Structure 1
Amino acid sequence: MSLSSCHADGFRGEQMTESTHEEPRPIDLKGYLTPVPDEIDAVELPVTGVLPPELTGRYLRNGPNPLPGERTPHWFVGHGMIHGIRLREGRAEWYRNRWVRTRRLAGDPYLRQDGTRDLAAVHANTHVIEHAGRLLALVESGLPYELTPELDTLGPCDFGGRLTTAMTAHPKEDPVTGELHFFGYGVEPPYLTYHRLSADGELRRSVPVDVPGPTMAHDFAITQNHVVWLDLPVVFDMSLVGRGMPYQWNDNYGARLGVMPHDGGDVRWFEIEPCYVFHVGNAWEDEAGRVVIDGVRYSPEVWHRSWTSIGGSTTPAGGPVAAAAAQGGTCLYRWTLDPATGKVHEEQLDDRWIEFPTLNDGLVGRGNRYLYAVADDSPTGENGVVLKYDTRTGASQAHELGRDHVSSEAVFVPAADGRSEDEGWLLSIVTDRAGAASDLLVLDAADLAAPPVATVRLPRRVPAGFHGSWVPDTN
């Protein structure tokens, strides 16, 4: 496919009912959330320890970063900014940060005058991935934006006009076939659409999936033979349009997981206890043919406490949220779905507050042993931790970051000739809680409790963000 076909200017928008817009209620982004005011470049970054020569490529991380003077009503709302660190043969060659130059950054509204959505007028602030030679900045409300290796913006990508929905920020690449599985969700039927790209980047399949309403489907999972859907009770609310993120908990919606063959067809649904899941760790089929999903679970009470802390609505739709004391937080959780019996087994695997689960991507959709996550591992949330879970034995290992340090998602990079699943490194940007300085941390994934393999001092603080990728050199 030619480059120009990926950067089409015309898209078929989706109809959206008109509503009364209210002025946003801005929140203060302070400390490690504070946006940076500009784009910079720096070369030959100082390194403590020894960078493994195998780490030759770019570590990239996306996150929201409003323009100077902008106030945001929700942490999730802000123009995408990519932070990149170039490593080569034991050196940290450069750091640079760039806003993703979307139509939204240029001032175009998400809603056109006719009420349709402009799927290119988005923030592109959630993830950055590479597939079939394309570097894509992603956000679940619209189209991906293609970037150059130097992080300049090329333009929106609709895969030759074939993609007419938004694209999730959490696509899954099958490590065997090289296909990229993803989906888009919207506010009018079809609320959910499954898509699949070939290994060479052609959009080959798009299939509507029947769900009862406009649920906020942030993530999903794949196994060797199936797609696993999360149909959960955080739902679009028209009354909140214009006030940040127009989604909130709805007690009447229900909660279920769905299992669908890769090529589409009937979805087998399994009812579960009400919860929300932003991020799945992995899913696979066990020897008995059951589908097992590990993810980070939010109870209704924890959802409300977390959502309101970053600017979300506090008013539940469809009934009151249980008034039980909000003890505990997000936790690693497992659902086992048995197609033979139609039953679900639910199990909490840990009681620590965690987020951003990652794994060796060579085992996406297959049975992995290890998961990695980040946490604030103290009652006051002062001690940042990178965690490693052994999901077979239940054991865990922690790398303590020390008081008042916060870790971003830890991205696993496999060793070139690694013989075990955890032979490789974890890369994460660590920032002090006051937002004064940041480092790129390189940890030994096989011995997480050991001191860092290397630390790259970054030329500026990097605000807390969402997801990132390691993009190795191909030559």
Structure 2
Amino acid sequence: MTTSKPYLTGHFTPVAEEVTATGLTVEGTLPPELDGRLVRNGHNPKPGVTPTHWFKGSGMVHGIRLRNGRAEWYRNRWVHTPALDGAPYMTERGPDLTASAAGTHVIEHAGRLLALCEANLPFELTPELETVGAFDFDGKLLGAMTAHPKEDPVTGELHFFGSSPFPPFLTYYVSDAKGHIVHDAEVPGATAALKHDFALTRRHVVFVEGNVTFDHAEASGIPYSWNDHQPSRIGVMPRGEDGAGRVRWFSIEPGNMLHVSNAYEDGQGRIVLEGPTVDREGFRLSWNWWVGAPGRGSEPVSRSYTRRWVLDLAAGTVDEQIIDDLPVEFPTLNEEYLGAENRYQYAISFPDEKGLGGYGVVKYDRSTGARRIHRVGDARMPSEAVFVPAAGATGEDEGYLLTVVSDLKQDSSQLLVLDASGLDRVATVHLPHRVAAGLHGSWIPDGPRETSAA
């Protein structure tokens, strides 16, 4: 298929079929604690389908099963939602929350594997990635669910939200460790601004509204655009049953953030929030890539630089600054430190808006300000790097980073296992075909999952 759409070419060329392969070739030695499955999601429209926006491509989940130092299997499956067969999102009765691309993220909570897309209900999958169907938390989830829920590493609760371009604009939910929604509340003061991700600290929930907001005139099928008149703000809500009534909104500089690196309360009780952000020009370059319009950047993210906000709740002030000039996206961390002060963060580096620079896996030391990059090589693009703790780890960066690399020269893909402390290669697993560059994923260990006191 010949196309000018960048999200259907190069590293993003869709996979044309579902396959299962066993006994994968491994170079190096897989650590024995890598006992589980790496699952990763991304937009992958069926052959002959050209979506009007990158985000509208149907979701395909890829899984790699590791056990006892072996790579037992790889398989990829489309998430079989009504949208995969052409069902429209908007109907005469309003939006069909089951007509989902289901292509943004995949997580496990309370034993359920869920494929996520923020405008829809989650879709449950089997451990072998076959589609079970839409999941609405036993009827308690009445609207859409964010693609970026946060599992509290101490309690095992899943915190998430649903956003809408129409009132109520923002609804907050908590599911207990057994998968039952135990709390929901409308958040006052929210607007129709795009809310893709959010942050969780030990004591607060943090929402971010940037300058990208609902635009009914946007023709791509994703009805959002940059608006200089949309206030850019951070909402801080105490955790707990009465938190929504005490939410506070803080004005920040114009911009837009898709993904949070982390947030926490520091020793002075201030909230520290970090994540890659774009300015107006960066959003324009990225959006034009996402829709295949002229005047786009060379990558799906352009001018995306890590920003830090420090919110002093007592003084009612916000200090913010760009803390790195490297274009990055898909920030991750050792999730035992989610919501707590962390020293290390990871991300994927991209070429800048002129195509200069390269792809790599980045490690930040927030204590020293040091930045280290593992370059993956020419014409090779890594996916979001998922952290897995080492057996018996006592240090924050004692573990491994798992990333799936798309190799255009060899028309192949590999699972790359890096030592998270030094970013050295530990092992490479060769996959049966090239995997299209995607979005987010999770490591799902075998056996019971334990909470942390980090």
Q: Same fold (TM over 0.5)?
A: yes
Aligned CA distance change for structure 1 residues 271 and 314 (closer, same or farther; 3 Å): farther
Q: Offset at 1:211? A: 3.7
1:33 to 2:12 alignment? yes
1:123 alignment partner, SS class: coil
Aligned CA distance change for structure 1 residues 236 and 377 (closer, same or farther; 3 Å): closer
Q: Tell which deviates more after alignment, 149-158 or 302-311.
A: 302-311
CA RMSD of aligned residues (A): 1.7
- Matching residue of 1:244: 221
Distance 1:300 1:66 in 2: 29
- Matching residue of 2:304: 330
Map of 1:326-365 to 2, 5 A cutoff?
Answer: 329-365=303-339
Aligned CA distance change for structure 1 residues 228 and 444 (closer, same or farther; 3 Å): same
1:357 alignment partner, SS class: strand
* 1:466 partner amino acid: L
TM-score (norm 1): 0.89
- Matching residue of 1:321: none
Which of 81, 97, 107 in structure 2 is aligned with 1:119?
97
- Matching residue of 1:225: 203
Which of 372, 388, 404 in structure 1 is aligned with 2:379?
404
Which of 463, 468, 472 in structure 1 is aligned with 2:436?
463
Distance 2:357 2:76 in 1: 27
1:307 alignment partner, SS class: helix
1:308 to 2:288 alignment? yes
Which of 143, 150, 154 in structure 2 is aligned with 1:172?
150
Partners of 1:233 and 1:275 within 8 A in 2: yes
Q: Offset at 1:382? A: 5.7
Distance 1:313 1:337 in 2: 37
- Matching residue of 2:361: 386
2:285 alignment partner, SS class: helix
Which of 118, 130, 139 in structure 1 is aligned with 2:108?
130
1:184 to 2:159 alignment? no
Which of 110, 135, 138 in structure 1 is aligned with 2:89?
110
Distance 1:393 1:307 in 2: 34
- Matching residue of 1:441: 416
Aligned CA distance change for structure 1 residues 58 and 212 (closer, same or farther; 3 Å): closer
TM-score (norm 2): 0.93
Deviations 1:143-176 (A, max 9, x none): 0001110001111000010001100000001111
Partners of 2:385 and 2:403 within 8 A in 1: yes
1:218 alignment partner, SS class: coil
- Matching residue of 2:278: 298
2:138 alignment partner, SS class: coil
* 1:258 partner amino acid: G
Which of 274, 297, 311 in structure 1 is aligned with 2:254?
274
- Matching residue of 2:446: 473
Partners of 1:26 and 1:74 within 8 A in 2: no
* 2:372 partner amino acid: Q
Which of 41, 49, 57 in structure 2 is aligned with 1:62?
41
- Matching residue of 2:397: 422
Q: Offset at 1:244? A: 2.9
Partners of 2:262 and 2:339 within 8 A in 1: yes
Partners of 1:244 and 1:311 within 8 A in 2: no
Unpaired segments of 5 or more residues in structure 1?
Answer: 1-24, 316-327
* 1:354 partner amino acid: V
Deviations 1:185-204 (A, max 9, x none): 11210011111100111011
Partners of 2:4 and 2:292 within 8 A in 1: no
1:417 alignment partner, SS class: coil
Aligned CA distance change for structure 1 residues 285 and 90 (closer, same or farther; 3 Å): same
Partners of 2:5 and 2:292 within 8 A in 1: no
Q: Offset at 1:301? A: 1.2
Partners of 1:356 and 1:373 within 8 A in 2: yes
Deviations 1:376-425 (A, max 9, x none): 35763463210000111101111111222111100000112101000000
Distance 2:293 2:447 in 1: 45
Aligned CA distance change for structure 1 residues 124 and 245 (closer, same or farther; 3 Å): same
Distance 1:463 1:144 in 2: 22
Q: Offset at 1:314? A: 8.7
Partners of 1:248 and 1:313 within 8 A in 2: no
Q: Offset at 1:27? A: 2.4
Q: Offset at 1:434? A: 5.7
Aligned CA distance change for structure 1 residues 458 and 272 (closer, same or farther; 3 Å): same
Aligned CA distance change for structure 1 residues 312 and 431 (closer, same or farther; 3 Å): closer
Q: Tell which deviates more after alignment, 372-381 or 130-139.
A: 372-381
Deviations 1:339-389 (A, max 9, x none): 111111112111000000000000110001100001135763463210000
1:165 alignment partner, SS class: coil
Q: Percent identity?
A: 52
Deviations 1:113-168 (A, max 9, x none): 13x11111111100000111111000101000011100011110000100011000
1:43 alignment partner, SS class: strand
1:240 alignment partner, SS class: coil
Unpaired segments of 5 or more residues in structure 2?
Answer: 296-301, 449-454
Partners of 1:382 and 1:405 within 8 A in 2: no
Which of 229, 233, 254 in structure 2 is aligned with 1:256?
233
- Matching residue of 2:78: 99
Partners of 1:32 and 1:435 within 8 A in 2: no
Distance 2:410 2:382 in 1: 12
Aligned CA distance change for structure 1 residues 470 and 314 (closer, same or farther; 3 Å): same
Distance 2:79 2:15 in 1: 14
